[in-house]
A and B are shown apart, each in its own frame.
Chain A
Amino acid sequence: MRIHLVTGKGGVGKSVVSLALALKEGAASRTLLVELGEESFFQFVFDREITYHPISLTELGIDLARWSGSEALKEYVLYLIKVEKLHQLFFENIVSRSLIDAAPGLKELALLGKITSGPPRYVGPPLPYDVLVVDCFATGHFLAMLRAPMAMAETFRFGPMSEQSRSIMNVLKTPSITQIHCVTIPEELPIQETIDFLNEIKSLLSSPIKIWLNRWMQYPPVDQPGNTAEALLKKWSLAQERYWNILSGYSQAVTRLPFVFDHHVTAVAQNLVSEIAGCEA
C-alpha cells in the first residue's frame, strides 16, 4: 500500500496536483483518489455525486471517493461493535452525535484511521487499492489533523484511543508507505506558508516532503530588455526564479510544474502527468 497525502495553501492547485498524481499512479496500479471533508470539489469537475463509497471514473482509470470524518467514524464504530442495532442506537443518540460533531480531534482521528486502514494495520473493512491519493485540507488544518493522533497518544496514555493513535502515527511515519506532498506556487504568500509548513511538520515527522512548485511560468527568454514589454517579463521571471532558489535552499525535493494555459481541471491535470512521471523516473 502506498499513501500520498497532498496539502498546500488554499487555491495553489492541491486538487489538480492530486488528480494528476492519481492519473499517473492509475496507469499501473489500482488507485483511489480521495477528497476529505463534507463538501466535494470534484463533483463540479465530473458532474457526478462523489460519495463515501468509491465511484469509478472509467475514462480516467481511477476511482474517486469523498471521506468525511463522521462517515469514517461511523464505519469504524460499526467495525468495532459489529452489532448493527447497537451501532444505530449509538449514532442516533443526541449525546454521541453531538460529541462526534464537535469534539476536538475525533473526526480527524477517524479520517487518518480510514486512510491508514490497509496494510500493515488492517483495521476496518479492506480497501481494494494499491495506491491512495488523498487531496487533504490546506496546511493549517492538515497539521491539526496530523497532530490529533499525537495529542491523543500523549494526553491519554491508556485505552483504545491512544493505542489506535500510536499505530496510525507509525504508518504515517513510515516513508515506504506514506509520502506527504506540499503544493505551492511561485508567489510571496504561498512560499512563506510553505516554509512555515516545512518547519512545523519537522516536529511531527522526519520523512522527506515532496514539494511541487506549481503554476511555474515558462517565460520566453529575455536577455537584454530593450523595451517595456521585455523589461516587464524580465522582472517577472527574476521574481519567480527567486522563489525557486529560496525553496531549493530548504529542500532537495522541489519540482516545478508548468502553468498550463487551459482552465479546465482535467485538461490541466492530464498535462501535468508526464511532468510528475518524469520527475520520478
Chain B
Amino acid sequence: MKNDTQVRIFVGTGGVGKTTLAAAYAYFRAQEGYKTLVVTIDPAQRLKTALGLLPHGHNQKVLPHPSGGWGDDGIWGEMWASLLDSKWVFDDFVRRGLKDEEKILRLFKNRLYQQLSTQLNGSQEFTSLEKLLYEYESGMWDFIVLDTPPAGHAIDFLKAPQKLNRLLDERVARWFRLMEDGGSWVTNIFTFGARRILQILEFLTGNEFIHELSDFFGQLHFWQKKLEKRLNEVDQLLRSSLCKFTLVTQYDLPKLREGMAFLDILKAEQMNCEGIVINRAYLESDFNLQETDRSDLKAWFDQLVTYYDRRAKEGRSLIRRLNPSLPIFEVPDKIYTFLGGEESVTKGQKRSEISLIVEIARYLRTPAS
C-alpha cells in the first residue's frame, strides 16, 4: 500500500502547552490545504470545547469558528481531532486479539488487568502509538499530529513501549502458564533456580497476588506476538522519513538542557526532529510604555521585559551551541490568555479557543531567525 501520510509527534515535559501546539500545528497544515488529524491526550476543557471533541476517541471534524472563516488566506483543507481514550483502545486491542467472548470477559474481570489497562507503566504510551498506527494504516490523512501523554520527561514516551513488551515477553508468560497448568511450583516442572525466584516473589507479594498474576498471564497468551509485531511496526514508522518529532519547551535552562539531551537520543535512535518550539518565549507587548508617566510602572514593566530577554538570550545561545542547525519556533507569552480572560473558572463558562489556535499557528510557519 502506498502511504505517504506525514506523522508529527509533539513531545516535551508537562505543562508547556504541548496539546495546544499540536492542535495549532494540525490547524496550520489544514490551512495549507491538507487533511489533518490531531490526536490529543488530556486536553483542557476549553480546548475540548474549541475542537468539539467527543469522548470515546471518535474522530471529530473541527468546525470553523462561529465568527466565520478560518482566518488568514489559507486554502482550507480539513482538520479533524480525536481524544485518546486509553482504556477503550486497550480493551479494543485485546478484543481483536482474543475474539472468544468468554475469554474476553474473564480477562476483563481479572483484577490485575483492570489496573493494567489504565495504570500499567507505559500503557498510555502504547495506546497512543496503537492509535497512531491505526490511523496511519487507514491512509486517510496527509498529516497525523500526535500529542504525547503527560510525563515528567520527554524521553518517557520512547521508553514506555519496550517496558510493556518486556512484561509480556514469552518467557515470562510461559512461567505463569506452567503454574496455571501445574498448580504449584513445588512440583518439578520448574528448575531449582526458577523455584527459588517464585518463592521470593511469593514471599514478597503474597499467595493471592501470585495467583492473580498467573491467571492474567495465562490469558494473555495470544498477546505477546501481536504486541511485538505492533511495536515493530510502530518502531519502523517512528524511524521513517515520514515521521518527525517536535520538542515543545520553554526558555528554562535546566529544562532546555534536558530537552537537548532528548534530541541527542532521537538522533542516536535515527529518528528525525523537525524543530523546537519555545512556548511563552517573549512577552507579547500590546502595551505602550510611552503612554504612562509613572516611573514605578515603567520600572516594573522594564523588570518584566528584562527577565524575558535574559532567559531568551541564554536559551537561544544554549540551543545554538548544542544544535546549531535546529529550527527554533518562538511563540509569545499571552499572559492574559493564560490568566483566563474575563471569565471565572468556577462558573464553568468556556470561551472558544479556536482563535488562540489560529493565532499560534502563525508562529509555527516560520522559524525565528
Residues of A in contact with B (beta carbons under 8 Å apart) = 9-12, 37-39, 41-42, 44-45, 77, 80-81, 86, 89-90, 93-99, 101-105, 107, 137-138, 140-141, 144, 151, 155-162, 186-192, 195, 219-220, 222, 226-230, 232-233, 235-236, 239-240, 242-243, 246, 261-265
Contact = CB atoms under 8 A, between A and B. Distances in A.
Given A107-B121, A261-B306, A11 B16 contact: yes
A104 B115 contact: yes
Interface of B: 13-16, 44-46, 111-112, 115-116, 119-122, 150, 152-153, 155-156, 159, 163-164, 166-169, 171-172, 175, 193-194, 196-197, 200-201, 203-209, 212-213, 250-255, 257-258, 286-289, 291-292, 294, 296-297, 300-301, 303-304, 306-307, 310-311, 314, 335-336, 338-342, 344-346
A101 B167 contact: yes
A263 B310 contact: yes
- Most chain B CB atoms below 10 A, which of A39, A77, A86, A226: A39
Given A44-B254, A90-B197, A239-B336, A159 B205 contact: yes
B166 A89 contact: no
A269 to B, nearest CB: 12
Contacts of A187: 338-340
Contacts, number: 202
A138 B14 contact: yes
Contacts of A157: 208
Contacts of A262: 307
21 contacts: A10-B152, A39-B153, A39-B155, A44-B253, A77-B204, A89-B197, A95-B171, A96-B197, A101-B167, A103-B120, A104-B115, A138-B150, A155-B111, A155-B212, A158-B208, A229-B292, A233-B297, A239-B341, A261-B304, A263-B252, A265-B254
B196 A89 contact: yes
Nearest to B337: A188
Contacts of B159: 38
Contacts of A240: 339
B interface majority secondary structure: helix
A104 B124 CA distance: 13
Nearest to A136: B152
A140 B336 contact: no
Given A102-B163, A138-B15, A156 B314 contact: no
Given A138-B14, A220-B300, A229-B291, A160 B175 contact: no
A239 B340 contact: yes
A184 to B, nearest CB: 11
Given A187-B338, A220-B300, A11 B13 contact: yes
Contacts of B206: 156, 158-162
Contact of B166 (A93, A101, A226, A264): A101
A67 to B, nearest CB: 13
Contacts of A220: 294, 296-297, 300
B339 A137 contact: no
A144 B314 CA distance: 37
